[in-house]
Amino acid sequence: MFKVFSNIPDGIYDGCFTIFIGEHAKMEKWLGKRYPGVSISDDNNLGESFIIESKDKIIVNVIWLQKYNHSLSDQGVLVHELLHYTIRELRHRGFILNNGSEEAYTYFLESVYKNALERLNKKTKKK
């Protein structure tokens, strides 16, 4: 199984991210066709979060999950990778994680998690 969920909105900053579920090699091939020359490390984890950028401009935010079947474990991996995305996105926008910015991080994470679940629930739930 290999699934792609493109252009999931972050819900706050008009940004978006793409979730890939399935074999890492298939994600690499999919991205390589669209972004020639992209290099992606395969660290053999359950998930991964990274960006593809050009000249300091983010082209695509990637969340990769080895699998996703709505289990608590899979949701844990999803939120783990979305936290990486949250930290990276807000750092890119000039935020520094501290007591004064903590709410910005938590609201943003809540928004991306909700939007990711909405998309995943539409497409992956067993009927």
Domain ranges of the chain: 2-124
Contact of 52 with 38, CB cutoff 8 Å: yes
Q: Could you read off the pLDDT of 38-93 as tens digits, one per residue?
A: 777 776 689 999 988 876 677 889 999 999 999 999 999 999 999 999 999 999 89
Q: How confident is the model at residue 27 (pLDDT cuts 50, 70, 90)?
A: very high
What Cα–Cα distance (Å) separates residue 70 from each residue in 14, 82, 92, 93? 26, 15, 30, 31
